[in-house]
Amino acid sequence: MAAETRYILICSGKGGVGKTTLTANLGIALAKQGVRTAVLDADFGLRNLDLLLGLENRIIYTAQEVLAESCRLEQALVKHKQQPNLALLPAGNPRMLEWLTPDDMKKIALMLGDHFDVVLIDCPAGIEDGFKNAVAAAREAIVITTPEVSAVRDADRVIGLLNSEGIKPIQLVLNRVRPKMMANQEMLAVSDVTDILALPLLGLVVEDEQVIVSTNRGEPLTLNGASSPAAQAYNNVAKRLQGEEIPIVDPSQEPQGLRAKLSRLMNKKIF
Amino acid sequence: MAITLRDAINRLLGRQPASATTAKQRLQLVLAHDRSDLNPELLQQMRREILEVVSRYVELDLEEGDVSLATEDRVTALVANLPIKRARDVVLPAAGA
- Which residues are within 8 A (CB) of A191 and not within 5 positions of it... i.e. 6 or more apart? none
- Which residues are within 8 A (CB) of A202 and not within 5 positions of it... i.e. 6 or more apart? A142, A171, A172, A173, A237, A240, A241
Q: List the single residue in B2, B20, B34 with the smallest CB-CB distance to A187.
A: B20
Question: CA B30 → CA A47, A146, A268, distances in Å?
Answer: 31, 17, 26
- The H helix count followed by the E strand count for chain A is 12, 8
Q: List the single residue in B3, B9, B27 with the smallest CB-CB distance to A152.
A: B27
Buried b / exposed e across A218-239, counting CB within 10 Å, b at 16+? bbbbbbeebebbbbbbbbbbbb
Whole-number average pLDDT of chain A: 92
Question: What confidence category does residue A2 fall into, taking pLDDT thresholds of 50, 70 and 90?
Answer: very low
Contact flag B24-A188 (C-beta cutoff 8 Å): yes
Reduced to 3 states (helix: H, G, I; strand: E, B; else coil), residue B11 is helix
Reduced to 3 states (helix: H, G, I; strand: E, B; else coil), residue B74 is coil
Q: Which amino acid appears at position A89 of this protein?
A: L
Whole-number average pLDDT of chain B: 82
Say if residues A9 and A134 touch (Cβ distance below 8 Å): yes
Q: What's the CA gap between A244 and A227, in Å, rounded?
A: 19
pTM of the full predicted structure?
Answer: 0.84
More confident residue, A257 or B42: B42
The pLDDT score that the predictor gives to residue A59 is 92
Residue A222 CA to its chain's centroid (Å)? 13
Cis peptide before A169 (omega within 30 of 0): yes
Question: What confidence category does residue A85 fall into, taking pLDDT thresholds of 50, 70 and 90?
Answer: very high
Mean pLDDT for B73-90 is: 82
> Shortest CA distance to A204 belongs to which of A154, A254, A139?
A254
Nearest-CA distance B59 → chain A (Å): 32
Contact flag B4-A266 (C-beta cutoff 8 Å): yes
Contact flag A270-B24 (C-beta cutoff 8 Å): no
Contact flag A153-B27 (C-beta cutoff 8 Å): yes
Number of C-beta neighbours around residue B57 at 10 A: 11
The pLDDT tens digits for A98-121 are: 678 999 999 999 999 999 999 999
The pLDDT tens digits for A215-239 are: 999 999 999 977 899 999 999 999 9
> Shortest CA distance to A104 belongs to which of A143, A58, A66, A49?
A66
Residue B27 CA to its chain's centroid (Å)? 16
The pLDDT tens digits for B23-67 are: 999 999 889 888 887 777 888 888 889 888 988 888 888 777 778
- Which residues are within 8 A (CB) of B12 and not within 5 positions of it... i.e. 6 or more apart? none
Question: What confidence category does residue B69 fall into, taking pLDDT thresholds of 50, 70 and 90?
Answer: confident
Q: List the single residue in B5, B24, B30 with the smallest CB-CB distance to A153.
A: B30
Check CB contact of B11 with chain A, cutoff 8 Å. no
The pLDDT score that the predictor gives to residue A1 is 44
Strand pairing report for A118-122 and A37-41 = parallel
> Angle CA(A176)–CA(A91)–CA(A61) in degrees, nearest 5?
125
Number of C-beta neighbours around residue A133 at 10 A: 25
Nearest CA in chain B to A269: B4
Q: List the single residue in B19, B20, B74 with the smallest CB-CB distance to A198.
A: B74
> Shortest CA distance to A119 belongs to which of A31, A54, A235?
A31
